[in-house]
Structure 1
Amino acid sequence: MTLTEPDLTRICDLLYRQTGILVPGNRRAFVERRVLERLRATGLTTLPAYLARLRADADGEVQHFVNAFTVNETYFNREEHQLHCLTGSLIDAVIAGRALNDPIRIWSMPCATGEEPYSVAIWLLEHWPAVDDWEVEIVGSDIDTRALAAAEAGRYGARALGRLPPALVSRYFTVEDRSSFEEASSQGRTWRILPELRGSVRFSRRNLVDGAGMAQEGRFDIVFCRNVLIYFDDASRKIAAANLFTALRPGGFLCLGHTESMARIPSRFRTRRFPEAIVYQRPEDAHG
Structure 2
Amino acid sequence: MTSIGAAAAAGEISDADFDRFRSMFYRKTGIYFEDSKRYFVDKRLKERMKQTGHTLFKSYFTFMRFQASGDELQSLVNAMTVNETYFFREDYQFETMCRHLMDELDDMRPAGEDLRIWSVPSSTGEEPYSIAIYLLEYWKGLEHRDVEIVSSDIDTSVLEHAKRGIYSKRSVQNIPLTMRQRYFTQHGNEFHLCSDIKDSVTLCLANILGAEVPGRFRSFDLIYCRNLLIYFDDDSRRRAAQVLYDALKPGGYIFLGHSESMSRICSLFKVKKFGDVIVYQKPTNEGAFR
**Normalising by structure 1, what TM-score?**
0.92
Rounded Cα–Cα distance in structure 2 between residues aligned with 1:13 and 1:134: 46
**SS in structure 2 of the partner of residue 175 of structure 1:** strand
Rounded Cα–Cα distance in structure 2 between residues aligned with 1:11 and 1:267: 33
Q: Shift of the alpha carbon at 1:145? A: 0.6
8 Å CA contact 2:167, 2:191 repeated in 1:
yes
Aligned partner of 2:31 among 21, 30, 40: 21
Tell me, yes or no, if structure 1 residue 30 matches structure 2 residue 21.
no
Matches within 5 A, 1:129-278: 129-176=140-187, 184=188, 189-275=189-275, 277-278=277-278
Go from structure 1 to structure 2 and tell me whether the alpha carbon gap of 1:8 and 1:97 turns closer, same or farther (over 3 Å shift).
closer
Corresponding residue for residue 120 of structure 2: 109
Identity %: 41
Structure 1 residue runs of 4 or more that deviate by more than 4 Å after TM superposition: none
Q: Shift of the alpha carbon at 1:214? A: 4.2
Q: Shift of the alpha carbon at 1:211? A: 4.7
8 Å CA contact 2:118, 2:222 repeated in 1:
yes
**SS in structure 2 of the partner of residue 74 of structure 1:** coil
8 Å CA contact 2:166, 2:190 repeated in 1:
yes
Corresponding residue for residue 8 of structure 2: none
Rounded Cα–Cα distance in structure 1 between residues aligned with 2:215 and 2:91: 28
8 Å CA contact 1:206, 1:214 repeated in 2:
no
Q: Shift of the alpha carbon at 1:135? A: 1.1
**SS in structure 2 of the partner of residue 96 of structure 1:** helix
Give per-residue Cα distances to partners, 1:183-221, cap 9 Å, x unaligned. x4xxxx111100111100000111121253243132200
Give per-residue Cα distances to partners, 1:116-160, cap 9 Å, x unaligned. 000000001111122132111001100001011101111100111
Q: Shift of the alpha carbon at 1:285? A: 3.0
Rounded Cα–Cα distance in structure 2 between residues aligned with 1:276 and 1:199: 33
Corresponding residue for residue 74 of structure 1: 85
Tell me, yes or no, if structure 1 residue 284 matches structure 2 residue 277.
no
8 Å CA contact 1:84, 1:276 repeated in 2:
no
8 Å CA contact 1:254, 1:279 repeated in 2:
yes
Tell me, yes or no, if structure 1 residue 127 matches structure 2 residue 144.
no
- The one-letter code matched in structure 1 to 2:68 is A
8 Å CA contact 1:271, 1:279 repeated in 2:
yes
Give per-residue Cα distances to partners, 1:148-189, cap 9 Å, x unaligned. 11011111001110111111111001123xxxxxxx4xxxx1
Corresponding residue for residue 3 of structure 2: none
Aligned partner of 2:129 among 118, 129, 134: 118
Rounded Cα–Cα distance in structure 1 between residues aligned with 2:280 and 2:108: 20
8 Å CA contact 2:103, 2:141 repeated in 1:
no
Corresponding residue for residue 181 of structure 1: none
Instruction: Count matched residues.
Output: 276
Q: Shift of the alpha carbon at 1:106? A: 0.6
Rounded Cα–Cα distance in structure 1 between residues aligned with 2:190 and 2:227: 25
Give per-residue Cα distances to partners, 1:90-122, cap 9 Å, x unaligned. 101111143331001011011100000000000
Higher normalized helix content (fraction of residues): 2
- The one-letter code matched in structure 2 to 1:85 is T
Q: Shift of the alpha carbon at 1:227? A: 0.5
- The one-letter code matched in structure 1 to 2:264 is R
- Give unmatched runs, 5+ long, in structure 2: 1-10
Give per-residue Cα distances to partners, 1:60-100, cap 9 Å, x unaligned. 21111111111110000011110111011110111114333
- Give unmatched runs, 5+ long, in structure 1: 177-183
User: Which deviates more, 156-165 or 57-66?
Assistant: 57-66
Q: Shift of the alpha carbon at 1:12? A: 1.2
User: Which deviates more, 70-79 or 2-11?
Assistant: 2-11
Corresponding residue for residue 6 of structure 1: 16
- The one-letter code matched in structure 2 to 1:219 is S
8 Å CA contact 2:32, 2:233 repeated in 1:
yes
**Normalising by structure 2, what TM-score?**
0.91
8 Å CA contact 1:81, 1:276 repeated in 2:
no
**Rg bigger for which structure?**
2
- The one-letter code matched in structure 2 to 1:96 is D
**SS in structure 2 of the partner of residue 221 of structure 1:** strand
Rounded Cα–Cα distance in structure 1 between residues aligned with 2:236 and 2:108: 36
